[in-house]
Structure 1
Amino acid sequence: MFVEKVPGKATYVPKGSLVDILEIIYGELGYCTEWVLGDGWQYGRQLPNKSWTGIIGQLMRGEIDASGTLLSQSPSRMSVIDFSVPLYMDTQAMIYQRPVILSDLAGFAKPYTGQVWLLLFISLIMAFLLTFVFHRYTDGFQQSKRSFSGAESVWVSAEWTIGTLLSQPCAWFPRSVAMKIVIGTWFVATFVIGSVYRGNLKAMLILPKLRLPFDNLHELIESKLPTYVPAGSALMQTIYEARADSQFYQLQQQIVHESDIAKAKKMIITGKTVAFTSQYLLAYMIHEVYALTKSCPLYMASEKFFETTSISFAFPKGSALTAKVNPIISRLKEAGILDHLYLSSLMYASLCLNSDPSAGNNLRPLDVGDFYGVFSIFLGGLVVSLMVFILELIVNRVEKRKLTHNDG
């Protein structure tokens, strides 16, 4: 059962497939219904003095004749109230804001991991050293018959190794057998590295994969994300009664307490909190958001909890309504009407839940931010080139002064 506040008024209206189910049940019995808000918007939890809060407390005190929403069955609850036959089997799930594709300053470096980049850098240094040694001591390169100085050997070796890696031509040609082996090996290695890099970069741009903030309870705890759990729910009680060595106990530090359902819903949709509660409630929220926005901003984690939980209507202990309602619920279940009403109320949820939450299903046009990383490398190269050019001018001027001084 879901409630929605009427705009401009302090009243609420019920929504969801349970409204139709209750109309069928009590229409069959010839009863009129009056909707009452749950005490403190809670399902109900047991206090130290053995009293109960929320809907369960209202049932025990006789303030309401039946619950308008489904409650999870548990031994502690069954000891103080009666349940109808189960309508559905529920499970507890987690939803959070789906990550979106954004501009990435370091996107050009993502095709390889840090380890691969490190190995590539080491390989570049080794290739440069081998090229320099063979060129220096075997006269490995030729362009003219003149001999090279030490500084020129360093420059030619660097030009060959770095230029080959960047697919740039070089004016110097290998001459010795040893140099040809080194250069040939480096050619093949850089060809493979460059081809894989370009292929991976294209794949990341065409069909990017997004890393989910979490996909199970362990990752949720590590993420430290605030987590909303409905107050008075069976799950909340389980979390606060968990042993100190359990994951539920660790989750206590992340729990967000919010009694305003509308505010909690807004926090979930905007990504301020994670929602951890009934899968039925979460699926309806996803359906409702899609109906309003035609998008799937939320995803559901793959890990589920308490998948065999029975959910039923609740009645005061010993209520005569229980025996009257059970046969009607059984007939609705056997006829498939319960499943039909439920699925009809969640027709949009399947569109989001059946899609891969880590895939970039919506294509995004590239913007300027996507090229910031490449532009940074390009500008960095221009700055280095300018510095080298200025350094060459200074060195040439110094050499000319020396020659002029020697001639004088």
Structure 2
Amino acid sequence: MMGVTSLIVFLTTAVLTADMHPLHYRELDSLTRGSEAVNAVLATDSAALCSLILFVDSKTSSRSVSEIIGNLKASEGIAVFAVAGDNQDYNETQAQLCRMVDQARRLRQVSRCLRMMVVSDDAAFLVAFAECSLEGRLLVWSNRLLAVTRLSLQQLQQLHETFSQTNSILLLVNTVAGYLHYNMYIHLPYTPRDTKALRVASWTPKRGLVLTTHLPLFPNKFYKFLQKPSLVVAGGQYEPHVNVLFNSKTPQDTEVTFYGPMINLLEIFALNINFSYRIVRPPDGVWGAKMPNGTWIGMVGMVVRKEVDFALGPFGITAVRYEAADYTRPIVIDYARIMARRGRPEVDPWGFVLPLAPLVWAATLTTLLLLCLILLLLSKCSSYLHINRETTASYSVLDYLRVLLQQDVFVRKGSWWQRMLLIAWMTVTLVLTRSYSGNLMSLLAVRYSLQPYQTLQDAVDDPSVALIWEEDSSYVQSFRRATSGIYKAVTDLEKIGRNVYLTFSSISERAPTLVRRGDHVLVLEENSENVYIAQDFSTTERCDFYLSREKVLPLMFAMIGRKNSPLVPVLSNRIRSVKEAGLYDYWMKTSVPNSSSCAHTSTKTTVKASLSLTNLSGMFVVLVSGYGLGLLVFGLEAIIDWSKMSRS
């Protein structure tokens, strides 16, 4: 321990000699001989390689403590915490123990592993130690505890819940016919308080340590329950993971049925770990959020208040929730996307430019310009060399433009190179114009569905649309903490009433209707939005909604349990097996009918209809613009000619 392997003794408020009471020989003998039983117990799990912390009360003599320490083995060192004085005040004893637990936690941070032992015949002392250890998170599953006492099981019923939820063994010292006899007990988890502890081993000086069951010492009681307990599980509607079906038998009696992938997973847990369960819904209908006063609401609050043993969720993993509960292994990774109404198919008035890609338009005009420059250059050279002097200016550069526009061209007498240039350009133009005209007729029958909200910024910038969020979800908690950027802009929308918060159960009922109106968009997990789209398609046989291209706020989702609960790692092991087998992904795909019907819906729709002015409005704009430009040039030429004539 910190490089020291010798004996380490911590004294809290007084030395270990002045305030301790002497014991009779019989009492001293039972404690000192008990160290052999303790060593036998600790040796079964290589505890000799760990640090050992010993807690004793003020009634334990210094001689017995020295005898116990001398017989114990711990290569990392032994620390002793003793309550000083003969204080009968429970509150003062608890205060001293809590300070000891805090020091022991610091000791744990520099130790490779830790084993603990508490020795006392005072039930109040043991209860105070249990409360401080649990509150101070010293008594966790990885830190095994051995409690040594002469008290009977009936006198220790107050410790039943603590010992049942921790990795603890109760060592009772008994005297049978004048001989010392030690029995080791464990308390099974999730059993009533009056349930008798299970004896797993015994120790006598003659026979040593003898196991009385098939279980080892310090068994993993949560891997598979020996007795089938009934657990309370928090759950709520969260499609597609959890679905809730209400069946009203009578006006006063409503039967609630849960189904979905998470329920399938829960059934595997119940069968494999051996427990029955009862699902309860949160009264407020939310997942869980921390209030300004430090309390928790929703299913997280139910776990914190120990109203349930664990909660299904799955819950988005956030740092704030981790302060209150422990997460299991992640079950799924999901993203938030925008679900909005798909626009009605509309005509694109500028569709006549679509048959050719922009690069083709640029290449065509560039080629035309180069041909004109080559023509002018060769014409100059021909004039300089006196070749076909009469045809030097016969070919105008506008002839090539006339060919592109499919107008007539009068071929005059000229050189062979002029004819070759014209033939090559006519060939290219023929292929280009035929392809254009064929594609144009096809595109005039295409309608385009508008999808304006592809990013969160698009929705924020449109003042006519409101954003629907799940109330107190992990996404809402994330953007409310933002101080800049797009998430801060989303937070600012609350001031003008553009953020709408609904519980998850009401989202499935109201959100599709609000989004269909066109003045709302839904920001939620992609998997849940796909359920709403699939359900709408099953009803209307249309794909009226779409999801944005942008994915925001990626989160891992998992179940939650009580803080430091040993059940959480057991659930995580089962989750890993289910995920590796691909079962959960399979359940997700098969739980929603028509889940992929609208996954790849095109934004273009082909129709059979007569051409209207709307289809050709872009062409008329080009025509009118051309006439206007021609009139402008004509006017400028007239003004220039008039100016010349007036000067002359």
Task: Give the TM-score normalised by the residue count of structure 1.
Answer: 0.63
What amino acid maps onto 1:204 in structure 2?
L
Cα distance 1:372–1:331, how it changes in 2: closer, same or farther (>3 A)?
Answer: closer
Aligned to 1:349: 595
What amino acid maps onto 2:335 in structure 1?
Q
- Give 1:23 shift: 4.0
- Give 1:313 shift: 1.9
- Give 1:90 shift: 1.6
Aligned to 2:80: none
Equivalent position SS for 1:94? strand
Aligned to 2:443: 204
User: Distance in 2 between the 1:369 and 1:206 partners?
Assistant: 8
1:25-36 equivalence runs, <5 A: 25-26=269-270, 28-34=274-280, 36=281
Identical residues among aligned pairs (%):
20
Q: Decide which of 311, 334, 337 is 1:94's aligned counterpart.
A: 337
Aligned to 1:238: 478
1:13-92 equivalence runs, <5 A: 14=258, 16-26=260-270, 28-34=274-280, 36-37=281-282, 39=284, 41-83=285-327, 85-92=328-335
1:2-401 equivalence runs, <5 A: 2=239, 3=243, 14=258, 16-26=260-270, 28-34=274-280, 36-37=281-282, 39=284, 41-83=285-327, 85-97=328-340, 98-99=342-343, 101-108=345-352, 110-111=354-355, 167=406, 194-195=433-434, 197-202=436-441, 204-205=443-444, 212-222=451-461, 225-244=465-484, 246-253=485-492, 256-259=499-502, 260-261=506-507, 262-268=509-515, 271-307=518-554, 309-317=555-563, 322=568, 325-346=571-592, 348-353=594-599, 355=600, 359-360=603-604, 363-368=605-610, 372-374=614-616
Q: In proportion to residue count, which structure has more strand?
A: 2
| Structure 2 unaligned blocks of 5 or more | 1-237, 373-391, 624-648
What amino acid maps onto 1:341 in structure 2?
W
Equivalent position SS for 2:277? coil
Deviations, residues 243-275 of structure 1 (Å, cap 9, x unaligned): 32x222233355531323211233335554333
User: Distance in 2 between the 1:70 and 1:269 partners?
Assistant: 28
2:337–2:547 Cα contact (<8 Å) kept:
yes
- Give 1:71 shift: 0.4
What amino acid maps onto 1:276 in structure 2?
V
- Give 1:70 shift: 0.9
What amino acid maps onto 1:52 in structure 2?
W
User: Distance in 1 between the 2:444 and 2:619 partners?
Assistant: 19
Larger C-alpha radius of gyration, 1 or 2?
A: 2
User: Distance in 1 between the 2:287 and 2:458 partners?
Assistant: 28
Q: Please, which moves more after superposition, 319-328 or 7-16?
A: 7-16
Q: In proportion to residue count, which structure has more helix?
A: 1
User: Distance in 2 between the 1:38 and 1:167 partners?
Assistant: 76
Cα distance 1:65–1:292, how it changes in 2: closer, same or farther (>3 A)?
Answer: farther
What amino acid maps onto 2:595 in structure 1?
A
Deviations, residues 8-49 of structure 1 (Å, cap 9, x unaligned): 999776553223333443465122334x2452x432222322
- Give 1:211 shift: 6.6
Task: Give the TM-score normalised by the residue count of structure 2.
Answer: 0.43
What amino acid maps onto 2:265 in structure 1?
I
1:287–1:346 Cα contact (<8 Å) kept:
yes
Cα distance 1:196–1:99, how it changes in 2: closer, same or farther (>3 A)?
Answer: farther
Query: Which structure has the higher relative contact order (CA within 8 Å, separation 6+)?
Result: 1
User: Distance in 2 between the 1:343 and 1:45 partners?
Assistant: 30
What amino acid maps onto 1:291 in structure 2?
S
Aligned to 2:65: none
2:470–2:524 Cα contact (<8 Å) kept:
yes
User: Distance in 2 between the 1:256 and 1:13 partners?
Assistant: 32
What amino acid maps onto 1:92 in structure 2?
Y
1:209–1:359 Cα contact (<8 Å) kept:
yes
User: Distance in 2 between the 1:101 and 1:162 partners?
Assistant: 36
Aligned to 1:391: none
User: Distance in 2 between the 1:284 and 1:370 partners?
Assistant: 39
User: Distance in 2 between the 1:369 and 1:23 partners?
Assistant: 61
User: Distance in 1 between the 2:326 and 2:401 partners?
Assistant: 78
User: Distance in 2 between the 1:104 and 1:332 partners?
Assistant: 50
- Give 1:232 shift: 0.9
- Give 1:219 shift: 4.8
- Give 1:88 shift: 1.7
1:289–1:295 Cα contact (<8 Å) kept:
yes
2:537–2:543 Cα contact (<8 Å) kept:
yes
- C-alpha RMSD of the superposition: 5.2
May I ask how many residue pairs the two structures share in their alignment?
A: 354
- Give 1:99 shift: 4.7
